[in-house]
């Protein structure tokens, strides 16, 4: 029997969601509280939930679900502020009794085929473990700073920050979904994965009791300029103390700001709660305004890790969807063993910010695997750096720099919510 034989892919009907969730709990190591079920249902893009079901008794009980995944149908901001139809892969898990039989590989192929059929030119994901996805052509498209900011960290003053007001409220899907989605849709940072109103129904409001571990229910900070929302952040606190000293923490999840002043007002608020000594960030871009505004950058304990993994599914459509910042004419040879339609030579002609991408038989200037092109797509990694790392081959001197200069983004890419 071949590795992945004895299973078949299926769409998961609502009545089988508990089986889907059972595999998720086995794969992600956890036991959910019964009261949290609806929260998970609301966070799942149910109409795009997929699974592998056992069809051969030598694999397990026939018709049991052995592996699952789902994806968010969305748009992602690309360099220049345009948007590209994107599939956000998530909920990927294989029951431990069925692992290392190629089920993940089979599900990723299923995901690629279905995303392409829907016209989604790019797939993105957050990785639980970083070494897994390069083999499928995903490249590390953006990085994030995980920072611990001490209470009251001083910042360089930004005009107008003091004039803004802040509302602090318990996050509520009914009350805040449109407000948050409206602000997020205005972000122009490449890598922003739009979580539209109602998408995955309420993924950004997910708040299972079993995950709180002493933390508050998620709260929302909303910065306003004369009543108009200009920044938001999901946050929650945890009161702690030892030997009579209060050293509580504040955790910040999705956040976004429309202006430098709004960003400053937001972070002043998030880093100055009574009884809270440390604010921990997620989803902070490597050039987030906060990092430039802090007077003592070394006073922030931080670590840079991978944020979004990016995979071009349709090379010409994806490349033509974004803006470029330097004219060039480069022939790129791409290797892609999972999506053969991408493999081969592409002429990338950039003029006035737009690319035209077409098939060619001309000799290549650069050769690379799809994961390296994908890694550079959002403009956070230089192709020339990958040549220097020995991962991309340059056949025509100077062409890596030309394409790198065209593709690099003036601001670092980032996805501001973890799907
Ligand atoms: C996008 C997201 O949802 S991220 C969340 C991913 N899910 C998890 O981390 C949950 C826990 N883990 C699991 O459910 C599973 O072990 C998975 C999904 C990571 C892997 O599923 P499997 O069906 O065992 O993977 P599969 O058999 O297709 O492996 C394909 C290749 O990836 C490799 N691989 C699988 N898991 C890992 C890993 N954790 N680290 C490194 N390599 C891995 C395999 O060794 C195999 O390599 P090969 O092609 O050289 O033989």
On whether both 160 and 259 belong to a single domain, the answer is yes
Say if residue 261's pLDDT is above 80. yes
pLDDT over 90 (residue 198): no
Residue 316: what pLDDT?
98
**Residue 389: CATH number of its domain:** 3.30.1050.10
Whichever domain contains 86, its CATH number is 3.40.630.30
* pLDDT at residue 230 greater than cutoff 80: yes
Q: Which tens digits make up the pLDDT trace of 296-316? A: 989 999 999 999 999 999 999
Task: Look at ligand 1, atom 8, and give the residue with the nearest C-alpha.
Answer: 93
Both tokens assigned to 257: 């700001």
- In the chain, the number of structural domains is 3
- Same-domain pairing of 132 and 151: no
**pTM, entire model:** 0.96
pLDDT digits (tens, 9 = 90+) for 35-70: 999 999 999 999 999 999 999 999 999 999 999 999
User: Exposed (0-12), middle (13-18) or buried (19+): which is 34, by Cβ within 10 Å?
Assistant: exposed
Mark the binding-site residues, compressed into ranges: 100-105
Question: Is the domain of 262 the same as that of 314?
Answer: no
Domain boundary among 266, 281, 306: 306
188-to-54, 78, 235, 415 alpha-carbon distances in Å: 44, 8, 22, 11
Task: Indicate if 71 and 165 belong to the same structural domain.
Answer: no
Residue 319 lies in a domain: yes
- Domain final residue pick, 271, 291, 306: 306
Residue at 199 is within a domain: no
ipTM exceeds 0.95, yes or no: yes
Whether 199 shows a pLDDT value over 80: the answer reads: no
Cα dihedral sign, 289-290-291-296:
positive
Among 333, 354, 353, 349, which Cα is nearest to 396's? 333
40 part of the active site? no
Domain final residue pick, 287, 306, 325: 306
* 289 shares a domain with 360: no
28, 99, 418: which to mutate for ligand 1, most atoms within 8 A of CB? 99
Range of the domain at 80: 7-141
C-alpha of 363 from chain center: 35
Same-domain check for residues 286 and 360:
no
Ligand 1 probe mutation, 89, 92, 125, most atoms within 8 A of CB: 92
- pLDDT for position 181: 94
Q: Are residues 70 and 116 in the same domain?
A: yes
Does one domain contain both 159 and 79? no
Residue 31 domain-assigned (yes or no): yes
21 is catalytic: no
pLDDT in tens, 132-169: 999 999 999 999 999 999 999 999 999 999 999 999 99
3-class SS at 107? helix
Kind plus residue range of the DSSP H or E element containing 9: strand 7-11
Say if residue 358 is in the same domain as residue 389.
yes
* Domain shared by 254 and 378, yes or no: no
Distances (CA, A) of 61 to 53, 66, 170, 272, 353: 9, 10, 44, 55, 56
Whether 380 is in a domain gets the answer: yes
Q: Are residues 35 and 120 in the same domain?
A: yes
Expressed in angstroms and rounded, the spacing between residue 419 Cα and the centre of ligand 1 is 18
- Please check whether residues 300 and 390 belong to one and the same domain: no
**Ligand 1 pocket, Cβ-based, cut-off 6 angstroms:** 27-28, 89-94, 99-105, 125, 127-129, 131-132, 135
Return d(Cα 28, Cα 210) in angstroms, integer.
Answer: 14
């Amino acid at each position: 029997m071949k590795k992945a034989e004895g299973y078949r892919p299926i769409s998961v009907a609502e009545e089988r969601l508990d089986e889907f969730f059972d595999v998720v709990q086995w794969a992600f190591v956890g036991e959910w509280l019964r009261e949290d079920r609806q929260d998970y249902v609301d966070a799942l893009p149910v109409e795009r939930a997929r699974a592998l079901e056992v069809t051969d008794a030598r694999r397990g009980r026939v018709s049991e679900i052995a592996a699952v995944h789902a994806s968010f149908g969305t748009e992602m901001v690309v360099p220049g502020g345009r948007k590209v139809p994107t599939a956000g892969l998530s909920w990927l898990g294989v029951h431990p009794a069925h692992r290392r039989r190629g089920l993940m590989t089979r599900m990723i192929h299923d995901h690629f085929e279905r995303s392409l059929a829907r016209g989604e030119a790019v797939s993105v994901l957050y990785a639980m473990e970083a070494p897994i996805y390069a083999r499928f052509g995903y490249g590390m498209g953006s990085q994030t700073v995980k920072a611990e900011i001490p209470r009251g960290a001083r910042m360089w003053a930004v005009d107008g920050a003091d004039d803004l007001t802040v509302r602090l409220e318990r996050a509520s899907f009914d009350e805040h979904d449109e407000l948050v989605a409206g602000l997020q849709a205005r972000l122009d940072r490449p890598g922003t994965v739009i979580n539209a109103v109602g998408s995955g129904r309420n993924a950004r409001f997910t708040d299972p009791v079993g995950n709180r571990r002493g933390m508050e229910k998620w709260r929302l900070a909303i910065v306003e300029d004369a009543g108009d929302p200009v920044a938001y952040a999901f946050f929650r606190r945890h009161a702690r103390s030892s030997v009579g000293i209060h050293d509580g923490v504040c955790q910040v999840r999705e956040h976004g700001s429309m202006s430098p002043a709004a960003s400053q007002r937001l972070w002043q608020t998030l880093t100055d709660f009574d009884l809270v000594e440390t604010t921990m960030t997620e989803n902070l871009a490597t050039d987030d305004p906060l990092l430039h505004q802090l007077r003592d950058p070394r006073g922030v304990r931080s670590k840079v890790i991978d944020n979004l993994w990016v995979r071009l599914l349709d090379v010409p459509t994806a490349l033509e969807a974004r803006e470029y910042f330097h004219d060039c004419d480069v022939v790129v040879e791409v290797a892609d063993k999972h999506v053969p339609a991408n493999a081969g030579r592409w002429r990338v002609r950039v003029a006035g910010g737009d690319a035209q991408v077409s098939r060619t038989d001309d000799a290549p200037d650069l050769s690379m695997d799809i994961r390296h092109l994908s890694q550079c797509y959002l403009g956070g990694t230089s192709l020339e750096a990958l040549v220097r790392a020995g991962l991309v081959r340059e056949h025509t001197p100077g062409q890596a720099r030309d394409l790198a200069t065209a593709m690099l983004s003036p601001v670092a890419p980032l996805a501001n919510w973890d799907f």
